[in-house]
Amino acid sequence: MTQTLTELDRRFMAACIRYSRRHLGRTGTNPSVGTLIVADEGNGPVIVGRGVTALGGRPHAEPIALAEAGERARGATAYVTLEPCAHHGRTPPCANALVAAGIARVVAAATDPDARVSGRGYEILRAGGIEVVPGVLANEARSVLSSYLTRSSTKRAEVTLKLAVSADGMIGRAAAGQVPITGDVARAQSHILRAEHDAILVGIGTALEDNPELTCRLPGLEQRSPMRIVLDRKARLPVGSRLVRSIAEAPLAIATVEPESEAAQVLEGAGARLIACEEHDGRVALPELLEDLAALGLSSVFVEGGAAVAKSFLDEGLADRIVLFESDVVIGANGIAAPFTRATLPAEYEPGGEWVFGADRCYVFKRRG
Ligand code: AOF
Ligand code: ZN
């Protein structure tokens, strides 16, 4: 079967978007962008260079891919998940690098909202004689770039709520610590989600009740645990908690309204970072906290509990994405009711995919933009 150019472009762009996920949660204020250089040297198109934005955000994806392709970039097509940059940072603009390397075509997915780049990246390419095909699989790319895009447009970190709900609509059992609801495969998936976020957040209730570690414990991904944040108005987290004891493995931040208190100072002394917060209705003010996190360079927050915290984010219109795991486990007596289920989710959320993980189901919802 012969493939049209568009089909081929979509295929390589899909591969490029998958590849771009590799450094999600690890590129600071920069988005995790993917680049594939594809050349047809007589035997059909092959990938001759790959790049994903480096850890910390620099170098960008394009120069990495161009370096691998070398001379084979001449006359080749470059697939990029985001419009190549047009500004001088620590290195020259990626758009100029693509021109200098002799790239013939650039197929791009999402446009960059960064005022220094938006539209100008494409202009540089066209002025350099490159054919530009923008907007290929733009929605798919935007979903990987979503935290960067949210942070650019709202100046706050993007929020994903994760919830695991039992067959009887519960998320746990009162005074029973951690109660397994989903199985191993779903657990592994949620650890991947941890690794892909800039921060994981729980309320102090969950921290005290479950004594969680909130690290990514998948083989080979242990280094990818992001910062853990506890909403802890009065800095009640014990220094003997697993969260504090694992500070060497992943940073810990305490979002408190009493950073000067003795308890907060003890936590700081143990290596935790204090984030001074405003109070609203007896709770840590969430919109301001999310703005502060964005200012600290954290673009995405994975909220893992508990019920009250999840409900606050939802009620305040701050939950951008919801990841809902459903299991067949029955909790029964003393169950803690889920703050919402698939049936009670507000209408503004639309389905964004569903999967089966072992015996469990996983549903993603996105707030309609
Ligand atoms: C690209 N390729 O891989 C990424 C881009 O602070 P700087 O100089 O690194 O610039 C950050 C901006 O670069 C960021 O806001 C976004 O516009 C762009 N990110 N661009 O060409 C990449 N990560
Ligand atoms: Zn660049």
Confidence of residue 115 (pLDDT cuts 50, 70, 90): confident
Instruction: Name residue, tokens 């919830």.
Output: 163
Instruction: Please state the rounded mean pLDDT for residues 344-361.
Output: 95
Residues around the ion ligand 2 (C-beta < 5 A): 60, 85, 94
Work out the percent of the chain whose per-residue pLDDT is above 90.
89
159 CA to centre of ligand 1 in angstroms: 22
Instruction: Please state the rounded mean pLDDT for residues 56-73.
Output: 97
Regarding the beta carbon of 58 and ligand 1, being less than 6 Å apart is answered yes
Regarding the beta carbon of 30 and ligand 1, being less than 6 Å apart is answered yes
Instruction: Please state the rounded mean pLDDT for residues 211-219.
Output: 94
Residue 98, pLDDT > 50, answer yes
Assign 41 to helix, strand or coil.
coil
Regarding the beta carbon of 83 and ligand 1, being less than 6 Å apart is answered no
Whether the CA torsion 32, 33, 37, 43 is positive or negative: it is positive
Instruction: Please state the rounded mean pLDDT for residues 316-340.
Output: 94
277 CA to centre of ligand 2 in angstroms: 35
Instruction: Please state the rounded mean pLDDT for residues 339-363.
Output: 94
Q: Which residue, judged by its Cα, is nearest atom 6 of ligand 1?
A: 89
Q: Where are the domains of the chain?
A: 7-146, 155-367
> In ligand 1, which atom is closest to the CA atom of 35?
3
Please name which of 292, 309, 127, 143 lies closest in space to residue 232, comparing C-alpha atoms: 309
Please name which of 305, 313, 314 lies closest in space to residue 207, comparing C-alpha atoms: 305
35 CA to centre of ligand 1 in angstroms: 13
Pocket test for ligand 1, best of 16, 22, 30 (most atoms within 8 A of CB): 30
Confidence of residue 1 (pLDDT cuts 50, 70, 90): very low
111 CA to centre of ligand 2 in angstroms: 13
85 CA to centre of ligand 2 in angstroms: 4
- Which ligand is located closest to the Cα atom of residue 93? 2
- Which ligand is located closest to the Cα atom of residue 64? 1
- Which ligand is located closest to the Cα atom of residue 114? 1
Residue 124 contacts residue 99 (beta carbons within 8 Å): yes
Name the residues annotated as catalytic.
62
User: Across the chain, what does the average pLDDT equal?
Assistant: 94
Q: Which residue, judged by its Cα, is nearest atom 12 of ligand 1?
A: 30
Instruction: Please state the rounded mean pLDDT for residues 162-179.
Output: 90
Regarding the beta carbon of 172 and ligand 1, being less than 6 Å apart is answered no
Residue 2, pLDDT > 80, answer no
Regarding the beta carbon of 117 and ligand 1, being less than 6 Å apart is answered yes
Residue 90, pLDDT > 90, answer no
Confidence of residue 305 (pLDDT cuts 50, 70, 90): confident
Architecture of domain 155-367: 3-Layer(aba) Sandwich (3.40)
For the chain, report the end-to-end CA distance as a whole number of angstroms.
Answer: 38
Q: Which residue, judged by its Cα, is nearest atom 20 of ligand 1?
A: 85
Regarding the beta carbon of 96 and ligand 1, being less than 6 Å apart is answered no
Regarding the beta carbon of 62 and ligand 1, being less than 6 Å apart is answered yes
Regarding the beta carbon of 327 and ligand 1, being less than 6 Å apart is answered no
Regarding the beta carbon of 93 and ligand 1, being less than 6 Å apart is answered no
14 CA to centre of ligand 1 in angstroms: 20
The pTM score is: 0.92
Confidence of residue 369 (pLDDT cuts 50, 70, 90): confident
Q: What is the pLDDT of residue 3?
A: 59
Instruction: Dump the DSSP string for 266-278.
Output: HHHHTTPEEEE--
| pLDDT tens string 10-56 | 999 999 999 999 999 999 999 999 999 999 999 999 999 999 999 99
Instruction: Please state the rounded mean pLDDT for residues 172-182.
Output: 86
Pocket test for ligand 1, best of 17, 85, 132 (most atoms within 8 A of CB): 85
Q: What is the pLDDT of residue 176?
A: 80
Regarding the beta carbon of 89 and ligand 1, being less than 6 Å apart is answered yes
Whether the CA torsion 187, 193, 199, 203 is positive or negative: it is negative
Architecture of domain 7-146: 3-Layer(aba) Sandwich (3.40)
Work out the percent of the chain whose per-residue pLDDT is above 70.
99
| pLDDT tens string 230-275 | 999 999 999 999 999 999 999 999 999 999 999 999 999 999 999 9
Q: What is the pLDDT of residue 61?
A: 98
